[in-house]
Structures are given as C-alpha cells and as structure tokens.
Amino acid sequence: MNNFEDLQKKWQNQSGVSATEDGFQSLLKSVKSIEQKQRTGNVVLTLTIIILVSFLIYVSGYKSATFMLGIGLMIGSLVFRIAIELFSLKRLRSINFSKDANTFTEDLTTYYSLRKYTHYIITPLALVFYTVGFIILLPLFKASLSNGFYIYIICSAVVFLTVFSVFIYRQATKELTKLKQLEMQEGV
C-alpha cells in the first residue's frame, strides 16, 4: 500500500534524468542551427520576392491582356497564399509559451480556429484562381510552343497541382485534428 508521499518520493528519486555536457552542447548546436535556418529562410524569401517582381516587370512589356490576366492570376494567387502562410507562421511564433497553461491553450485554440478559414476558404480559392490563370494561358502556350513542350507544361502543371493539393490537405487535416483535440480538452 503506497500513499501519495511514497509516490512523490519515488517520482523524485528517478535516476537517468540528469543533464550532461554532451546534451547541452547538442542543444546549443540545435539552437544555433535554428537561428541559421531562420536567416537562410529570410534570404530565400527576399530572393523569391525579387525574382517574382522582376518577372512581373519583365512580362508587363507584353501587351496581351489575356497573358497578363492569366499570369496575374497564377502569380497573384500563389503570392497571396504564401503571404497568408507567412502571416500565420508569424502569429504562431508570437504565441507566448511563458503564459499560464489556461491562457496559452486559449491562444492556441484561437490560432487553429483562424487556420480553418485558410484551409476551407483561402486555399481552395487560391487553387481555383491558379488553375483558371493556367487555363487562360493554355491557348497562348499552344500557339507559341512546340507540341512536346506544350504537353510537358500540361503534365507538369497537373503533377504540381496534385502534389500541392495533397500536401495542403495533409497539413489541413493535421491542424484541424489538433483544433478538435484542443476543443475537446476540458476547460482548465
């Protein structure tokens, strides 16, 4: 027969839970690596924006309204979706982990609730606009490209959209499950 004090004593006497120098060095390495990745991520993002803006400036020389509409829809929907994702990431990172568990759970639930709008409204709309933009461009591709390259563009677009959709679907399912679990969790 064990009372709670016995359990407490045994709990605190567990061994194999002490810090090691190697463990700390490995942690410090991870911390530095995360900071480095964040810096690299910022550089990649800046370069992507520069390339997209340069491309838009380049194609703005074309007088074809159809081309501009198609390319505008494709790039616009992509940029908009990326911007939403970056905004969400910033919001997630701003959730304060040093608040009490009750407030933290509320903040996390609010975050995932807002993500529902991204998954149910913004993402499908972005996919539709992207596809419409691509379809608008198809006659222009057909007229100006060789048959082989035209087929390649269609196939690669289908593959890209399928892979992208599966990725988004899996991410959405994961986040919505998390929200459900947070909502099911009893009120603190």
Partner 1 sequence: MSSKEIAYQKIYEENYPKVMRLCMGYTAGNESLAKDLVQETFIKIWQNLDSFRNESGIGTWIYRICVNTCLAEIRRERKKERELQIDSLQVSDSNDNPAEKEDMLVQLYKCINKLSSTNKAIILLELEGLPQLEISEIIGIKHEAVRTRIHRIKQQLTKCVNNE
The residues binding partner 1 (CB under 8 A) are 1-4, 7-19, 23-24, 27-28, 30-31, 34, 96-105, 108, 177-178, 181, 185-186, 188
Separation CA 104–CA 122 (nearest Å): 26
Separation CA 68–CA 59 (nearest Å): 8
Separation CA 50–CA 66 (nearest Å): 24
Separation CA 75–CA 83 (nearest Å): 12
Closest CA to 3 of 153, 81, 11: 11
CB of 184 to partner 1, least distance (A): 10
Separation CA 87–CA 31 (nearest Å): 23
CB of 8 to partner 1, least distance (A): 5
Which residue's CB is nearer to partner 1, number 112 or number 129?
112
CB of 15 to partner 1, least distance (A): 4
The number of residues making up the chain comes to 188
Q: Is there a contact between 61 and 131 (Cβ–Cβ < 8 Å)?
A: no
Residue given tokens 């016995």 in the structure block: 6
CB of 168 to partner 1, least distance (A): 19
Which residue's CB is nearer to partner 1, number 98 or number 147?
98
Which residue's CB is nearer to partner 1, number 28 or number 50?
28
CB of 172 to partner 1, least distance (A): 15
Separation CA 188–CA 113 (nearest Å): 18
Which residue's CB is nearer to partner 1, number 96 or number 147?
96
Which residue's CB is nearer to partner 1, number 9 or number 142?
9
